[in-house]
Amino acid sequence: MSARAPPRRNPYTEGPESPPSGIAMTFKLPDLPYAHDALEPAVDKTTMEIHHGRHHKAYVDNLNKALEGKNDWSGKSIEELCRRVNELPADIKGPVRNNGGGHYNHSLFWEIMAPKGKGGSPSGDLARAIDADLGGMEKLKAAVSDAGMKRFGSGWAWIIVNAQGKLEVTSTPNQDNPLMQGLAEKTGTPILGVDVWEHAYYLKYQNKRADYLAAWWDVVNWSKVSELYASARKQ
Ligand code: MN
């Protein structure tokens, strides 16, 4: 421990200040688990570059900014921040709802996609639950696409594991998600989410959200969704 004050930083040349270690945790933009063009043709390279590098990055940066100096909250996981969003102080509730939701939602979204042909298909317990709870794969796709189509404006369509351990399809507006107790219509643990904001599809599909949703099933990483299902059932 040195008694000397640290040298003054120049934020323009040295970049953003990182918090003193052991005091605050800051969120980081996760790397994509594949190249930007890996999801073509369902999702185009430019959309992925902007969506991950600019939109998701902005959610992360704004979330960190909102939590600055909020030591009761800044060390919490993103899941806990989402679950307890209604308990947050009024001055950060809105920014954490939007940007924390944005960070959680996009982090999940990148993980549950994979290049066409690489995502496998649902198997084992998940396959059985899809049949038992959602009436099979075709009905699952129809229900998720329908939830995405009916979401007016911006939002997400989801498959969640609900409190009874059953699969359910739901949707949320903006960057809300089904972890958000007291805000989401249906709460549970998301195992699949599809972004229906225009920024997710407009460059390639323009206003044709239905075409985007139809193509999107080609790039679902069902191996990852199966993993998420297994861990949600253990909670
Ligand atoms: Mn998005």
Per-residue model confidence (pLDDT) at position 161 = 98
pLDDT of residue 24: 53
Distance (angstroms) between ligand 1 centre and the Cα of 152 equals: 15
pLDDT tens track for 85-100: 999 999 999 999 999 9
Separation of CA 64 and ligand 1 centre (Å): 18
Q: Would the pLDDT of 11 be above 80?
A: no
Question: Measured between alpha carbons, how far is residue 181 from residues 26, 27, 39, 204 in Å?
Answer: 23, 22, 33, 35
Pick the CATH number of 40-235 from 3.40.50.2300, 3.55.40.20, 3.40.1710.10, 1.10.10.10: 3.55.40.20
Closest by CA to 146, choosing from 128, 159, 131, is 159
Whole-prediction pTM: 0.89
Report the mean per-residue pLDDT for the chain.
92
* CA neighbours closer than 13 Å in the CB half-sphere of residue 218: 13
Percent of the chain with pLDDT over 90: 87
The structure tokens listed for 91 are 């001055």
Distance (angstroms) between ligand 1 centre and the Cα of 200 equals 5
The least confident of 119-123, 144-148, 196-200 is: 119-123
pLDDT, tens only, 109-143: 999 999 999 999 998 899 999 999 999 999 999 99
Rounded CA separation 214/86 (Å):
35
Going by the DSSP 8-state scheme, the letter that residue 113 receives in this structure is B
Q: Tell me how far the alpha carbon of residue 55 lies from the centroid of ligand 1, in angstroms.
A: 7
